[in-house]
Homo-oligomer: A and B are copies of this chain.
């Protein structure tokens, strides 16, 4: 358990911001050093292993933060699946965009296989595992029907992270509304539910204000 100094934390903060914005290959050590106001070579003092080590440590720190955040959110949601998912959505909303898929795709292929496997495992433990438990619990309580919990966890995570890709949704509603709709999609589905008017009424009132132009075609 080695301590991480303040100056190194500063490096990691900047590295996380830049790497998450542009991806491993697009960001150079020079970019990171410039943002820090130091010279590129100075980064090797903090990370003798160079760019790959810097990325690895940065990503591990990030995943560990998410592991705690997601677990805490689920805890806070009590034992009601909708509340749990809302809390997880709120957690992701409070964090810098993960852009997990970009990272696991383009970035990981640029890394050594050991680094890649290490990060894949961390990502799984931090994000998929807690969400999976969440769905397994809801199934055990009889709250939801039987479906692969891994699939459900993956889909939910995918969609939450997708909210960060602003490129595809110009003029879309704010992310809190979208998150709420996604949760409703998960739980209620799209087909009408004549049996549970209460649930439907609550949803409608929540969405009504931004649903005026839904039926106009673009």
* Tally of this chain's copies: 2
Which residue on B lies nearest to A178, using beta carbons?
B151
- Cβ of A11 within 8 Å of any chain B Cβ, yes or no, is no
Known A185-B147, A192-B144; judge A105-B172 contact (CB<8 A): no
Q: Are A214 and B165 in contact (CB under 8 A)?
A: no
Classify the secondary structure of A's interface with B: helix
Interface residue range, chain A: 35 or more
Are A218 and B104 interface neighbours, CB within 8 A?
A: no
Q: Which of A41-49, A52-60, A155-163 is the contact stretch?
A: A155-163
Given contacts A22-B106, A144-B190, A187-B190, 12 further A-B contacts (CB under 8 A): A22-B109, A22-B110, A23-B109, A104-B168, A105-B167, A140-B215, A147-B214, A148-B178, A151-B178, A154-B169, A155-B182, A186-B190
Which residues in A have some Cβ–Cβ distance to B below 8 Å?
A: 21-23, 25-26, 81, 99, 101-102, 104-110, 120, 123-124, 128-129, 132-133, 136, 138-140, 143-152, 154-155, 158-159, 162, 165, 167-169, 172-173, 178, 181-182, 184-196, 200, 204, 207, 210-211, 214-215, 217-218
